[in-house]
Amino acid sequence: MDEDLPTEFDLVVVGTGFVESIVAAAASRIGKTVLHIDPNDFYGGTWASFNLDALQSFISSIAESPATDESKQFNSIKNASQIWHVTTPTATPADDAIPEGQEATEKIWTKENVLKEFRRFNVDLSPKLLFSCGKLVKLLISSNICRYAEFRAVDHVCTIINGQTRSVPCSRTDVFNTKDLSIVEKRLLMKLLTSCMGYDEHPEEFKDYEDKTFLEYLKSVKLTDNIIHCVLYSISMSNEQTSLKDGIDNTKKFLNSLGRYGNTPFLFPMYGCGEIPQCFCRLCAVFGGIYCLKRSVSNVSIADAKVDSIKCGNQDIKASNIVVGHGNILPDFSIPAGGTGVGKKCGGISRAIYITSSPLGAEELNSSGGGVNFLKLTDESGTGAFVLQLSHYSGTCPKGLYLIHISCSAKSNNPEADIKPYLDKLLTTDHPPAILYSIYFTIDACLRCTSGASITNDSLSNVFVCCGPSFELDYDESIDNAEGIFKKIYPEDEFLPRAPDPEEIVIGDEDPVSVADDVITLDSVKEQIMELEAGLLHQEDCMEENSRNEEMAMEVGEE
Amino acid sequence: MATTPRGGGTAQRPNGASQNKICQFKLVLLGESAVGKSSLVLRFVKGQFHEYQESTIGAAFLTQTLCIDDTAVKFEIWDTAGQERYHSLAPMYYRGAQAAIVVYDIQNQDSFQRAKTWVKELQRQASPNIVIALAGNKADLSNSRVVEYEEAKQYAEENGLLFMETSAKTAMNVNDIFLAIAKKLPKNDGAGNQGSGQGRRLAEVEQNRQTNNCCK
Amino acid sequence: MHGRLKVRTSAEEAARKKKEQEIKVKTYRAGMGRIFEKRKNGQLDDEMMQITGQILSRNPDVYTLWNIRKECILKMAESLGNEAKQSLYDKDLGFTEQCLMVNPKSYGAWHHRCWILENCPTPDWEREVALCNKYLKLDERNFHCWDYRRFVVKKAKVPAEDELKYCTEKIHKNFSNYSSWHYRSKLLPLLFPHETSPARPISESKLKEELEMVLTAAFTDPNDSSAWFYQRWLLGYSQPALDIAAIRISKNLAIASFSKPIDLRTCEIETNFGFNFNPDRWQPVQKGNKYDVAWIVEDSFELGASDLQQYIFKCRMSDGKDYAINLKKCSDGFYGMKCPKFEYEFGAAVIEELKNQLESCNQLLEYEPDSKWTLLTASLLMRAIDRRGYHTKSLEYLQKLEKIDYLRQGYYADLASKWAIEKVLEEWIEQGDLTVAIDLSNLNLATIFYEQYMSIAKIVILRNNCLSDRTATKFNAFQFCENLDASYNQFSTPGVIPHIPNLKVLSLEGNKFSNNATTRLEDQMKNL
């Protein structure tokens, strides 16, 4: 019963991941005809969110197929495994892990009753946070796509100090309220943050440390270890090797995003990050883009060093340009050149997802059921890990359960081993989470990033490949990737100009200058206006009217 | 093409003097292609009807306000933007929706079956308190009707849905169905004030942001 | 095959805006016209409510219209039973809320709300408290709403404990909030009165907590002045308490001075030695003042008639309380003086906390030796801990502040003058000898404080300070001064030194008078 698709497009986009969806939206927005397809029956590809049922079958399908199977759609995710830590209905969830003082009436979670709630889950393959003043927030606002989605301000930025999970004071209010810092420390912290913000105006303050690390600078301004820990690891998300300049830039980025939406600088999309690509898809559709899931490209025909048409189902579809997402690259495409300006490789991420029955950290970090908490963990040498804990308030899990996401750079083909040092840190805190279920997998780099320098075939000048998720907290690199591709295809056009508000749009044969008639609603006032107009017209003839008008004018003048 | 004057139905417009609450709700339209979803919205919002309705390019949603007693109910009405045509409607579309109108064409049995699927989908996936209305559209063409009024009505009653047969062309029951939804929506404090629930929209907050920054 | 997006062109948009504006202006004018016409005809009816409502809902600051609404409601309510009346008022309550949504800081709308609640048959005060919660959640610094809150909370009989808790929550959310700190200073004295002294607003133990909290705020953001104001209040730097400062009665002149400016003509004075003062005869030392710190009567007094154990001068002031002072007899009459209360004297626990705070400040000064607010806090703390012991050090800090915080130089100079004078004055009062000079020379004084306490002194030495013309009026208080040394200051206008009746010696050399003026001054002095 499926309708046939139109057979000619300015742009065909394969894959509904974040980068692909932005390119699709941007093209559609400037009036290009866009066909946006995805071989999967869901939106988002490597950026998708799943309910628990779908997640389990997705992970199983990857775990069961051999890693070298090029034919499967998800060659971007590998090394997947999942395990339930609770099985029988009588088992209590990890007894020893439940800290004292927990409510006795707490629900006992079994595999069955977790699964019963599967629809309440929206589990992200690639969870991320948005800086309130970051690139994505700015793009969503400038393009007016922000109206499609809702966000939750992240509740706490946490850190682990001496085995205790603590909230990092980010805002002035936090600094005022925290019991973890003495008043002198409070002053020193505030002062440090202020001077970081003024880095550009007063670079002389930092002159002696230009070639040194951020840590060396922090030590030089006589900060206590407590503060150094918070600033270095949590606020600037740096490590011991980070340079002064980078440390300060990161700190500024953090601080600039404060005070906009909540008590921390971060936002998390309600119902998971999988919503974000869909928002761009909707914009694409609103401007005429055509959407079709469960369609893949089975063949391409090449002419004049370009892809001329693609075979989609049993239709041949002509396309001026083709954009292909992470995980959707067909062997036939070869690997196009067309560097998209991203220096860093995408992918290379080890992921862990835990469903837990108790949260990380004490009650004050999880008041009234918890919100969204973020924790940056470091390790001695590497880039550390992002830990995100989500409660039901984020729309991603049922009440009483928590999702903990850990992402770190992949060091091996064993994501569990990569994640373990970080998990151990969480499990050895004063309030460790009680884990019911865990998933591990690796997000691979896209084929273009993997092949790196070996990319030689630049014959297909109208095919562009999107990267997958990068190991970054926000979406900056991915947005650059999308904008780079757009600019390559449409160098003259504006990238996602503001979409009009509904009020600005003229529909049908409406008079474009018409004014909503609820400006005046009272008949007696309408009558008066008519009288007033008449009065003004016949001012000279009508003394009485005239005097009344004067009276009114006086009133207006008084105002 | 025909355009009828506005304000024909029982819907009232806000008169500024008596309402003291404004509640905003997200309402989504669902249903098979070509059952007249966009036409219903255009009839309700703009008082227009076009026999060969082009898809409304560029409008993410349209808004219209109704007055119920002392409350102004502002609907933010989302159209599918054609994404349903190849069965590819993104789930974010009905996230956080407080109301939905599931539309079928009384001349098309398939569209009625499809409507039932949408109702089921909403009951499973959308927020639990969502108000769902079922609209049997194109009621002006009742001589080619295949979906019986009684059958649809019974289905709606069994599933706790509001139900009306409508005609975007003649404006029959168009305002009424929106009004019925508006009446059924909770209008207590906090309802429909800020998006749907726990979340917040970026631009709205932008307007009344406070400077609680560390350093500035 | 695709429809095209039609967006208004900028010209169309501008035309539309203009059209909308025109209609708005027309509506406003027409509405106003209609309103005044109806008012003239006494038509205070439903339609009047609707038209005023239309205008107010767009612009809730047209005060006249709120008054018209009041007239309307009163008239419409006349014929109604209680229930119908209430619903009429309730409807208007709803309307004010709608206006508050447009402008939550509309004086008109908040006042109208007060009016409704005071006039309607069954006001629901709890609902009003909830409304305040709602609006303070939107903006915790909306002082209109805080004012309104204090009004309704009293009516709803919300316990002060609850209000304090609420207030604390708001401060924890955002401590730059004058309203909230201020409300605190009103609530704490009710909940935690001082154990013994009624003059002190709050108990020692609570004070300790509050000091801790406010210093935390001040350390977090020293640029936020709201916390500083509260700290001042806690440390007792607010207005001095009303009291008699000094009294002196001689054969032909009596002076009564007070800690604060008062209108003595409204007070009742009583003595136990047979002196009756006719209120009308009191004159302020600064001519034309309604309120003044010092008052004189020129009359002849019969001295030495009585011989009592105690001579008591009592004054019932505008607060209805009696203030008394014991007078001593001296060669030419009676006199009495009280030592002003400079700061509170704190108990051991509070002193301990203040010392900790001082320690924190000093610690911080090691990191930031030029931190102005730390210097100021430290000097205030030192005064609170041990005024005399830290006298020199606290003044040193102020001097430093004058240099590094040049913009507030005048403020620091005044504060330093105040402290310097306090020390001298306190010693002079302790001596209690009128013939001893008040020696304020060489203190860098920028101005004079406590002049009312000096009003009975015979000799005042102000030599070598920085006093200028602006302080000259203070000399008005020196009614009994015979010898005033104001040499080596910054006075420049010859006529600026006021007439002092008993003055025999006035030294003005080394000031900034022009030659011409000096000659005239010399003439003036010859006449003394």
Tell me, yes or no, whether C511 lies in a domain: yes
The string of pLDDT tens digits covering residues A39-54 is 999 999 999 999 999 9
* Count of domains forming chain B: 1
**Chain-chain contact of B55 with C101 (C-beta, under 8 angstroms):** no
- Kindly provide the residue ranges of all beta strands, DSSP E only, lying in A325-401, ordered along the sequence: 349-358, 372-377, 385-390
Minimum distance, in Å, between the CA of residue C289 and any CA atom of chain A: 36
The chain C residue lying nearest A559, using CA atoms, is C62
Specify whether C249 is located in the same domain as C222. no
Q: Are C141 and C174 in contact (CB under 8 A)?
A: yes
Q: Are A549 and A537 in contact (CB under 8 A)?
A: no
Count residue pairs from A and C with Cβ separation < 8 A: 124
Distance CA A405, CA A504 (A): 41
Which chains neighbour A (Cβ–Cβ under 8 Å, 3 or more pairs)? Answer: B, C
The count of residues in chain C is 528
Residue A344 confidence (pLDDT): 65
Mean pLDDT value across chain A: 84
Tell me, yes or no, whether B2 lies in a domain: no
The string of pLDDT tens digits covering residues A69-96 is 444 445 689 999 999 998 655 444 444 4
Residue B62 near chain A (CB below 8 Å): yes
Cβ neighbourhood burial of C298 (10 Å; 0-12, 13-18, 19+): exposed
The string of pLDDT tens digits covering residues B134-190 is 999 999 999 999 999 999 999 999 999 999 999 999 999 999 999 999 999 987 755
Considering only CB atoms, B57 lies closest to which of C2, C94, C138, namely C2
Tell me, yes or no, whether C150 lies in a domain: no
- Per domain, the residue ranges of chain A are 2-48+274-344+446-489, 77-92+106-123+147-169+262-269+348-443, 172-257, 520-559
Q: Are A66 and A78 in contact (CB under 8 A)?
A: no
Question: DSSP letters of A56-95?
Answer: HHHHHHHHHS-TT-TTSTTTTEEEEEEEES--STT--TTG
The chain A residue lying nearest B60, using CA atoms, is A286
Mean pLDDT, contiguous 10-residue spans, chain C (528 residues): 64 85 85 89 88 86 91 90 90 88 88 93 91 90 93 93 94 90 92 82 89 90 84 78 91 92 90 82 91 90 72 89 90 88 81 91 87 88 92 95 92 94 93 91 94 94 94 92 93 85 89 72 62
Count residue pairs from B and C with Cβ separation < 8 A: 41
Specify whether C52 is located in the same domain as C80. yes
For A172-257, CATH number out of 1.10.405.10, 2.40.30.10, 3.20.20.10, 2.40.50.100 equals 1.10.405.10
Minimum distance, in Å, between the CA of residue C370 and any CA atom of chain A: 13
Tell me, yes or no, whether C75 lies in a domain: yes
CATH of the domain at B137: 3.40.50.300
* Count of domains forming chain C: 4
Residue of C521, C448, C512, C514 lying closest to C481 (CA atoms) = C448
Mean pLDDT value across chain C: 88
* Percent residues over pLDDT 70 in chain A: 82
CATH of the domain at C311: 2.60.40
Residue B4 confidence (pLDDT): 35
Full domain range(s) for residue C103: 25-123
B46 chain-A contacts, CB cut-off 8 A: 507-508, 510
**Chain-chain contact of C33 with A551 (C-beta, under 8 angstroms):** yes
User: Is A77-92+106-123+147-169+262-269+348-443 a CATH 1.10.150.20 domain?
Assistant: no
Residue A525 confidence (pLDDT): 75
Tell me, yes or no, whether B194 lies in a domain: no
Residue A105 confidence (pLDDT): 52
Residue A262 confidence (pLDDT): 82
The chain C residue lying nearest B208, using CA atoms, is C138
- Assess whether pLDDT exceeds 50 at residue B213: no
CATH of the domain at C460: 3.80.10.10
Q: Which of B15, B19, B20 to mutate to test the interface with C (most CBs of C within 10 A)?
A: B20
Tell me, yes or no, whether B6 lies in a domain: no
Interhelix angle C348-367/C372-386, rounded to 10 degrees, is 150
B16 chain-C contacts, CB cut-off 8 A: 53-54, 57-58
Give ipTM to 2 decimals.
Answer: 0.86
**Chain-chain contact of C5 with B19 (C-beta, under 8 angstroms):** no
CATH of the domain at C100: 1.25.40.10
Q: Are A415 and A409 in contact (CB under 8 A)?
A: no
B42 chain-A contacts, CB cut-off 8 A: 507-508
Domain boundary among C301, C327, C353: C327
Specify whether C236 is located in the same domain as C359. yes
Residue B207 near chain C (CB below 8 Å): no
Specify whether C77 is located in the same domain as C118. yes
The chain B residue lying nearest C93, using CA atoms, is B20
Distance CA A107, CA A53 (A): 21
Cβ neighbourhood burial of C199 (10 Å; 0-12, 13-18, 19+): exposed
Q: Are C395 and C414 in contact (CB under 8 A)?
A: no
